[in-house]
Amino acid sequence: MNHRKDRLEALIIRNVSEIIQFELKNPKIGFVTITSGKVTSDYSYAKIYVTFLDGKGKEERLEELKKSKGYIRSELAKRLDIYKTPDIVFIYDDTHERAEKIEAALKKEAEFFSKK
């Protein structure tokens, strides 16, 4: 287990979340929740998994977030004390939506068997 990598991932998640929440002035993005983040083994890329409060317009909002990644990365570089700031890749996390579909299917199946 690489503790340095885990600490860096946690720092990146916290700082990117703060930058988006408090410093990014783009109303098209709306409320963003960072669900997780992964850094490659050579620390050159950081995958940031995001979800939005309401699922409406997620593609457009994700594109707006990707357009802002230069600003986010420059602000992140000011906060981190590392040689090279990783390039940020934003990915939409649909785990919550998939979980809701599974839960609805299980509920429907439970109702079906309770009627028998």
The residues spanned by each domain of the chain are 3-115
Given the candidates 3.30.300.20, 3.40.50.720, 3.30.30.10, 3.40.190.10, the CATH classification of the domain at 3-115 is: 3.30.300.20
**Radius of gyration of the chain from its Cα atoms, rounded to whole angstroms:** 18
pLDDT of residue 116 exceeding 80: no
Distance CA(77)–CA(67), nearest Å, equals 17
> Is the pTM of the predicted complex or chain greater than 0.95?
no
In the chain the first and final C-alpha atoms are separated, in Å, by 50
List, for residues 47-106, the tens digit of each pLDDT value. Answer: 999 998 877 788 999 999 999 999 999 999 999 988 899 999 999 998 888 888 888 888
Which helix (H) or strand (E) segment holds residue 60: the answer is helix 58-67
